[in-house]
Amino acid sequence: LDSDGETLWEYTTGGVVNAVSVGDLENDGYFELALGSADKTLYLFQSETYAKEEEANKNYKVAEKYYNKKDFDKAMRYALKAKELYSEVENEKGLRDTETLISKIESDSRRLDQEEVQADIYYNKSVNFYLAGEYINASKYAQKAKYKYSYLKKYEAVEKCNELINNSDKFLEIESRGYLQNSSDSYDKGEYEPALIYAERARGGYEWLRDKEDILKVDELLAKIYYKLAETHCGVKDFENASIFIQKSLYIYLCLENKSPSIGIGCDPDNAETRDVGILAENISGEKYEDSGYREELLKINSLIQRISKEDTGNPIDRISDAIGSNFLYILIAILVLIVLALFVGSLYLMARQQRSREPRGLMSLREREKRKSGKKRVDDYTKRSIDKVKRDKFKGEGLPIKKTMYNDPLEEL
């Protein structure tokens, strides 16, 4: 028993205990317990082994406690002490349990180190986005870092994340309010494309903040902007884009009309499905929207859809002819300019060709004349040389002796 009367250890002997003796039999500072029983058996219990086992068990339990608290440094220190004691008393079960605990401590410690590194990365990203004025991303990464730090029980880091989240959301609200005002001002000026850009930015901010009231304002403004864009594109016979914009406007109004709180916040126009405008026009041709809070807007949308459906035949030849008809004057001017340029280039080509044809003929005539002169001179020289030769041959034969031949006159020999 301990000092509180709690049982620390018990052992059952083979018979009734007759005698008990306690003393330091080995003079090592630990007491031994000797007892004899009625079955004539002497039992000797060493307190050193018992004490070490008790110390090992105590260290093991403390190690488990710190492990569950994720204080792995302290858990490892007590687990190693327990392992040492279990080894000394050769308690194999205690040794196996302690080694398993040490393995878990090492594994979880490495994982927590990685978690902390990742948490720091998220926090640094959040700070960078915050400084760059990208408040949605700043808040998003601060929340990721906060979750990691909470798991790691890094409560000081959690507070820093909360501060960063609050500041990001505050500036995001101010920014979104400015975008909404800019969108409204652009719409009033008839600048519908800038109005759309500002409205989409405002919607993104309010959606992150989950501000239902302001999201409703943005959605209603977006529906009006999409209608005006559809009207504008229809006016220039861009029926493809007109159909897309008008269907987004229709989607928003119908979504706002039939919205259930379970669906989520707002009516994101990106969720609208673009259908064949002809089929859509046929499906809604008889709609009156009597009970709708947006009846006037929906009737205007219906009318524009019917118009787009009638004018957009879907035939590529018709679209080409429409494009030619709407730009006939520009096309005619372009054709005339091309004709003038072609005539000008053709005249330059003919002039250049005539110029090239004259130059060779002049050169050939000159060469032919020179050739003829040269030929005549050669003929004259040849004739003169031939005559001179005849003359020379003629005078060359005078005064020369005449050879006697067998054909000479016999009288001349006498």
Residues 195-254: pLDDT tens digits? Answer: 999 999 999 999 999 999 999 999 999 999 999 999 999 999 999 999 999 999 999 999
How many whole angstroms separate alpha carbon 233 and alpha carbon 26?
105
**Model pLDDT, residue 22:** 64
How many whole angstroms separate alpha carbon 355 and alpha carbon 309?
63
Does 303 reside within a domain? Answer: yes
The answer to whether the beta carbons of residues 139 and 102 sit under 8 Å apart is: no
DSSP H/E element including 17: strand 17-23
Domain range for 241 is 226-313
The answer to whether the beta carbons of residues 256 and 216 sit under 8 Å apart is: yes
Does 250 reside within a domain? Answer: yes
How many whole angstroms separate alpha carbon 185 and alpha carbon 197?
12
How many Cα atoms are found within 13 Å in the side-chain-facing hemisphere of 28? 10
Residue 320, Cα to own-chain centre: how many angstroms? 37
* Per-residue pLDDT band at 15 (split at 50, 70, 90): low
Does 255 reside within a domain? Answer: yes
Does 236 reside within a domain? Answer: yes
Does 140 reside within a domain? Answer: no
Does 21 reside within a domain? Answer: no
Neighbours of 108 (CB within 10 A): 15
pTM for the complete prediction? 0.57
Q: Would you call 234 helix, strand, or coil by DSSP? A: helix
Percent with pLDDT over 70 in the chain:
69
How many whole angstroms separate alpha carbon 108 and alpha carbon 69?
12
Report which of 146, 148, 10 is spatially closest to residue 70, judged by C-alpha positions: 148
Q: Mind listing the pLDDT tens digit for each residue in 109-165?
A: 898 889 999 999 999 999 999 999 999 999 999 999 999 999 888 999 999 999 999
Structure tokens at 18: 């007759």
Q: Mind listing the pLDDT tens digit for each residue in 29-86?
A: 555 666 667 676 766 555 567 778 888 899 999 999 999 988 889 999 999 999 998 8
Does 115 reside within a domain? Answer: no
**Model pLDDT, residue 70:** 84
Q: For the chain, what is the domain count?
A: 1
How many whole angstroms separate alpha carbon 66 and alpha carbon 78?
9
Helices (H), 210-276: 212-235, 239-258
